[in-house]
Structure 1
């Protein structure tokens, strides 16, 4: 359960909308204790949903490495999922079959692993976590190490080399820190270091850092504390403490005596400017003040740089500012993406001019108050979940590892309450008045980073370790295996799960209202869903619904764009509008105490948009700039090609989803007005309210705020054209010169969401490629090492069937072998590889046992209800999911695979470097009629000449 802490607002809030209110934050009750081996244990109970989170932080990150031995912490993020002495198989399997979600991450200071499982599987999660803590090395073979090195290389290609601006952070770190500083290399490390690392090198790193005395374990959710303590002692207690981990204390960094200026080019559409100053570590004096400064500079539409660069001068596509505080150092970032053709020098001058104004004159109390309101609101929303990245278990561990106190939330928030305008001005002078690093990224061939002297050279361990001698480790004592680890713990009796009741109401204007109460946190989400999206765009004006969504919040008949933004920012509320293929939504998140003010703005924007000409022009230009970025995003290009090949440009689903420059320029204010009047009506809308509110309370408020909004006239939905018949299986190569990877998509038109085969298709997709342990991912990632990840998915759409797509980004050199494996997996799911009982039960367990977690947070519930109303599913749908999936048989899976996956009519799209892969693709049977294409100015596929 969560209690509430009340804080008296500091004087700096004077003038802000909530100056008279007290800030109220969740209090997260916990118990902390230590085992004899040094393992710190944190327990937090919350019985609202029958799930439990197990979260482990090891106090080791890339800063604990050394030159010549980088990337080890991140490598272990992968190796820890590769099996142990007692379970030498894929780590995901048992936990996914239990219905769990799991993941891990590494940064410069820590590595974390988490599982969120049904509460009757707590013992399994603890068994698995303890087994890899105590018994990983006996199962760590050279083969596994080599395979995961390949996976890491693919991750680097996908996340760094084949992503626009992907190498920027690496360049910044190298410029900001001397080469022997532990923050000078990226977390993923040097591929050369990993290539020459022996198994013993890697094992030595594990012994030094991955043990109880360097770990913090948090259990949060639905569990019995006494039982949890017994299990923790049983499974973790016998593991030896491990060596003392020395504190990382590098030599002080000398202040910069002049600006560092670096220019690089990348395969990008828009130039980008990075300004970086050295600042302070996490929780150090000045850290909170710099956070507030970042918010004032670039925290949303009310921020100074947004107004100056994006709105007024219109010389920037976007702008961000952040205080990146880490354990032993920090940096302050300002990042600006230029508008097409815009000079970075002018952007830099404008940014520095605004910084100088803050240094000369302190910000207003209102600006500081808005920053606090946003911080409070965001913090509360992040605490909705017990597990996952950023959930309560993660937050408790964060505070425990970095601040030494899991209950540091109160002190943490208290730091911000003490910030006043003078303090913000002080840090602006002190830190942003110093010399900085300036990095300019402009379009061009990707800059090759300075070559690593070890690349391609098999240096000896002694050469690499020169000057960095490690203290030899004593022999590790044997682990007393008191616990029976011969078999995995089985789940106890399933906990009772009751779906939250859905209260339906109809407003006097015809709007449907669905309310789900959740009083655990003092927040409310309001989502309005309309049955209109990109597929309803006027022919020749693709992008109309997206542009409407962008301009909708930019002013009403009585409020300017600034007034809308300020009214929301003053109370920490967030309002957004989005549009997809067939549905659009307006979403409001607000704290309960500010619901009346937030609802007033929400209702005004919903009913009375003004669509100002100047805002339309500005948003149109931003959309055109976005088109230039899309041309350098391989996955976006793959999606565009899939839609075009499956549906054709005359079909609504085949049009370029990001629009075109000509189409955007053709859209005027009258088009927005007409589209709004025809499609945004109360009798076509469903409003979903979830959170700290009752049905009667919200309905009464809505009747008052929406009293004047009435539907007028009839609505007609133009008929959809038929989907073109599928062609025989063939390959289309979208040429992307110098691409670091090939993005493979194997696709076909799927089926309708309301099909009676939906649940059988859900199980089929899970087996094929719908989750980590699926056939496709285990083949291409874990077995072959071709990719960082491979997945399949149905893109469910409202009016007609959407695509079914299998996709992965693979090494260029293995494009053809990877495609062969894709096609083999299609053959397998169609019967060549029968579905065994264990595989079937594994996937059904994954889908059904984890189902309650989909209703944990108000955001989760709202998302589920959007699906319900968007696809017009019956109210008993949620109650049918578990029994209907449980009833699926292997015969059902094979039947629907054969019915919907036509191996003879697959569309294969490869986005990659033609010069390196065309000949091999043509040599395949499916490649004999290979088409080589590229996108023209209108995002139409045309043959390459």
Structure 2
């Protein structure tokens, strides 16, 4: 099938079993053995050994009356789907001919067990699990029974279900990029707005009288933060949360994209990506299998303002998990082979990005607002040129300059005790030494002097991607809370002004939104949507009408103010339900130098926002006459209408460079 996909993709699908079937657990574990984690059979073969696939996944999906088992994979550049399908068949036949090892089964079981426990942290997670079991099995509290079913699965059971269900009777679907990369042709009816005329519309006010009255504002108090410091200078924050036997650790480093040289753009992300791909004593496979064997997970990443290394584990396996976690942080070696594999994946990602209109809009929007020399005008992923040129020594240099204990804080949340924890951390991080930290200064940027349209041509595009806005404010801005409320009214939720206008009233889009990105330096503000090509001009006009409206032409009402404040307030406690959420939220205190009382005062500060505050920040920070209007769409269809808006039009390529 030819489709608008950036990479060739194959899906193999078999009939499996209904929920509650005696073979459901074995099929779930078969999916895990085949594709869960680096040490799984398909990932090891297709991604790491033969480097054929960009990704591969396998799994069982049981439903109320039937189910399917599927394997899906996308090819890397120059690799074929025939090669991938051949290797998938090899691995399926291999597991049919010989059962998985005891270690493979143990890894699959421990992943399922820990996943079940982690899934019960939130109110919604508990409710969904109880409801699912009550609906399908008539027994809400059968969690232990379900885990016991997985524990009874043997290697022979996994081999048996592979033989029974993964037969020649299957569906194989190949999806390949459409020739020329063009979108499917549009017919006239498909390219008309789905709205109806104002004469046909009858506005019906909802009857709110029968809704239950809201209770008082929730009271939120974060558990106390116990602060300690290791002998090597590493700050440690501990928050005890003992509802479930879980622990989350998050190492937060004041590093990130703003600390990398311009000619090595992407080095911060590549350093994080390769951090767990080998240490002085462990290979990448050792690390992956070691974590899987205890149901733990680890990840590293880089943002503009920080880098982080996270770990999630059950309490019973904490000591083993900490040993691997600390080794990855203290002793990474960035193997050349792993660098080349990650590089190939990144270069394939750039091809995908050029074919994704939303990704193109993001790249061009940042470039227009900040220019090519400012860090925020670049992408965290780097460019093809910089990623191709990166050497192992570049990653080592960036690591040594940023990954230091005196530049980091370790946040530990969960079923732990600070006094017991401290000596374990001292031992685990004993070999990590402090160092000199520098860099991260943000240069100035030149704001736009007037509004203009920046058009990227995407021939035959079925939709236009629109991003409108300007440089906003930094995270330390004292107007943070009024801006949150103002943006919620403008485009921060489903019943916001821009979404009610462009989606519900006009039918131009499936969703319109706005938002401020808060960073250490002033991040971007944008109002955006994917709209039907035929109404690109009208959509731009409606966006600008709403931005001008919140500045005063359509004054914010008391009803709007109170509704949006309540929306923010009542959602807030749910962002602290899990141990991972708490450790993630605490990282904001570290990166942006916020007070320990910040979260305890959050609801009070939102509630204190007034109409005058909203009006003031809307007029101060939203200046439509100096906003960039970035559009990725079909130039031959939309250009004439855009010219009618009487803004200057600048034509750009997919990287934000001017074109003639």
Structure 1 residue 438 displacement after superposition: 1.4
For 1:660-704, what per-residue CA distance to the aligned partner results, in whole angstroms no more than 9, with x for missing partners?
222111101100100000000001101111111122222221111
Give the distance between the partners of 1:532 and 1:407, measured in 2 at CA.
45
Give the distance between the partners of 1:742 and 1:897, measured in 2 at CA.
27
Structure 1 residue 369 displacement after superposition: 0.8
Structure 1 pair 521–890 and aligned structure 2 pair: CA distance change class (3 A): same
Matching residue of 1:556: 279
Give the distance between the partners of 1:738 and 1:877, measured in 2 at CA.
49
Given the alignment, which residue of 312, 333, 336 partners 2:73? 336
Contact 1:534 1:545 in 2 (8 A): yes
Contact 2:368 2:656 in 1 (8 A): no
Give the distance between the partners of 2:450 and 2:29, measured in 1 at CA.
58
Give the distance between the partners of 1:485 and 1:922, measured in 2 at CA.
44
Structure 1 pair 447–282 and aligned structure 2 pair: CA distance change class (3 A): farther
1:265-276 alignment to 2 at 5 Å? 265-276=2-13
Contact 1:266 1:447 in 2 (8 A): no
Structure 1 residue 306 displacement after superposition: 0.7
How many residues are matched? Answer: 643
Contact 2:447 2:471 in 1 (8 A): no
Structure 1 residue 720 displacement after superposition: 2.4
1:491 aligns with 2:214: yes
Given the alignment, which residue of 911, 915, 930 partners 2:649? 930
Given the alignment, which residue of 149, 157, 167 partners 1:433? 167
For 1:363-398, what per-residue CA distance to the aligned partner results, in whole angstroms no more than 9, with x for missing partners?
1011011001001111111111012xxx11111111
1:771 aligns with 2:493: yes
TM-score by length of 1: 0.66
Matching residue of 1:239: none
Matching residue of 1:882: 603
Unaligned 5+ runs, structure 1 = 1-263, 457-483
For 1:76-108, what per-residue CA distance to the aligned partner results, in whole angstroms no more than 9, with x for missing partners?
xxxxxxxxxxxxxxxxxxxxxxxxxxxxxxxxx
Structure 1 pair 325–816 and aligned structure 2 pair: CA distance change class (3 A): same
1:915 aligns with 2:628: no
Matching residue of 1:754: 476
Given the alignment, which residue of 560, 571, 595 partners 2:318? 595
Structure 1 residue 401 displacement after superposition: 1.6
- What SS does structure 1 have at the residue aligned with 2:401? helix
For 1:471-523, what per-residue CA distance to the aligned partner results, in whole angstroms no more than 9, with x for missing partners?
xxxxxxxxxxxxx9944332344554432211111111111111111111111
Give the distance between the partners of 2:443 and 2:186, measured in 1 at CA.
55
Give the distance between the partners of 2:533 and 2:89, measured in 1 at CA.
42
Contact 2:457 2:635 in 1 (8 A): yes
Matching residue of 1:606: 329
Matching residue of 1:715: 437
- What SS does structure 2 have at the residue aligned with 1:645? helix
- What SS does structure 2 have at the residue aligned with 1:873? coil
1:49-448 alignment to 2 at 5 Å? 264-387=1-124, 391-445=125-179
Runs of 4+ off more than 6 Å:
446-452
Given the alignment, which residue of 641, 648, 654 partners 2:371? 648
- What SS does structure 1 have at the residue aligned with 2:299? strand
Give the distance between the partners of 1:903 and 1:584, measured in 2 at CA.
34
Give the distance between the partners of 1:786 and 1:698, measured in 2 at CA.
55
Give the distance between the partners of 1:560 and 1:329, measured in 2 at CA.
41
Matching residue of 2:200: none
Structure 1 residue 795 displacement after superposition: 0.9
Given the alignment, which residue of 453, 458, 464 partners 1:742? 464
Give the distance between the partners of 2:434 and 2:104, measured in 1 at CA.
39
Give the distance between the partners of 1:343 and 1:719, measured in 2 at CA.
45
Aligned CA-pair RMSD:
2.1
Give the distance between the partners of 1:489 and 1:507, measured in 2 at CA.
52
Give the distance between the partners of 1:638 and 1:525, measured in 2 at CA.
35
Structure 1 residue 451 displacement after superposition: 13
Structure 1 residue 725 displacement after superposition: 2.4
- What SS does structure 2 have at the residue aligned with 1:776? helix
For 1:267-315, what per-residue CA distance to the aligned partner results, in whole angstroms no more than 9, with x for missing partners?
3332111111222222223221111111111111110111111111111
Matching residue of 1:833: 554
- What SS does structure 2 have at the residue aligned with 1:427? helix
Contact 2:312 2:580 in 1 (8 A): no
Contact 2:482 2:609 in 1 (8 A): yes
Contact 1:649 1:655 in 2 (8 A): yes
1:504-903 alignment to 2 at 5 Å? 504-712=227-435, 714-717=436-439, 719-798=441-520, 800-903=521-624
- What SS does structure 2 have at the residue aligned with 1:778? helix
Contact 2:28 2:60 in 1 (8 A): yes
Structure 1 residue 627 displacement after superposition: 1.0
Structure 1 pair 295–505 and aligned structure 2 pair: CA distance change class (3 A): same
- What SS does structure 2 have at the residue aligned with 1:707? coil
Structure 1 residue 403 displacement after superposition: 2.0
- What SS does structure 2 have at the residue aligned with 1:578? strand
Contact 1:640 1:657 in 2 (8 A): no
Structure 1 pair 715–486 and aligned structure 2 pair: CA distance change class (3 A): closer
Structure 1 residue 455 displacement after superposition: 10
Given the alignment, which residue of 890, 906, 913 partners 2:627? 906
Give the distance between the partners of 2:532 and 2:299, measured in 1 at CA.
38
Unaligned 5+ runs, structure 2 = 192-206
Give the distance between the partners of 1:455 and 1:646, measured in 2 at CA.
34
Contact 1:644 1:656 in 2 (8 A): no
Give the distance between the partners of 1:661 and 1:633, measured in 2 at CA.
16
Structure 1 residue 429 displacement after superposition: 1.0
For 1:809-840, what per-residue CA distance to the aligned partner results, in whole angstroms no more than 9, with x for missing partners?
11222211111110001101111111121211
Structure 1 residue 853 displacement after superposition: 2.4
Structure 1 residue 736 displacement after superposition: 1.9
Structure 1 residue 880 displacement after superposition: 2.5
Contact 2:122 2:578 in 1 (8 A): yes
Structure 1 pair 455–918 and aligned structure 2 pair: CA distance change class (3 A): closer
Contact 2:220 2:600 in 1 (8 A): no
* More displaced stretch, 676-685 vs 404-413: 404-413
Give the distance between the partners of 2:230 and 2:346, measured in 1 at CA.
36
* More displaced stretch, 337-346 vs 431-440: 431-440
Structure 1 pair 428–671 and aligned structure 2 pair: CA distance change class (3 A): same
Contact 2:241 2:415 in 1 (8 A): yes
Give the distance between the partners of 1:635 and 1:411, measured in 2 at CA.
45
Structure 1 pair 493–343 and aligned structure 2 pair: CA distance change class (3 A): closer
